[in-house]
Amino acid sequence: MQLSVFEAGMLVCFGISWPISIIKALRTRMVDGKSPVFMSIVALGYVFGMIHKVVYNCDQVFLLYVFNFIMVSIDLFLYRKYRTK
């Protein structure tokens, strides 16, 4: 079992954006410009990544997929909570 360094780097880079987006939504209570469809597709991509890790190469990178999935899910929840009706 070998750690996927480049995959981990990609997930860390992507993962930096989600907490920033969540903090902004919590501070401003505005979600203008966010796309729930885009966030759902990204979340689905993380699910596929987790499945791949479990089936083929489960390493510590799996936790980065989980972290990113949780962050996107929180952002989606905040979108639904703060969207204008």
Domain boundaries, the chain: 5-82
In this prediction, residue 19 carries a pLDDT of: 94
Q: Give CA–CA dist 84/29, Å, rounded.
A: 10
* Local structure of residue 32 (DSSP, 8 states): T
Mean pLDDT by 10 residues, the chain (85 residues): 83 93 95 95 97 92 96 96 83
In this prediction, residue 84 carries a pLDDT of: 78
In this prediction, residue 1 carries a pLDDT of: 57
pTM: 0.90
Q: CATH number of 5-82: 2.40.50, 1.20.1280, 1.10.3470, 1.25.40?
A: 1.20.1280
Q: Give CA–CA dist 21/1, Å, rounded.
A: 34
In this prediction, residue 85 carries a pLDDT of: 59
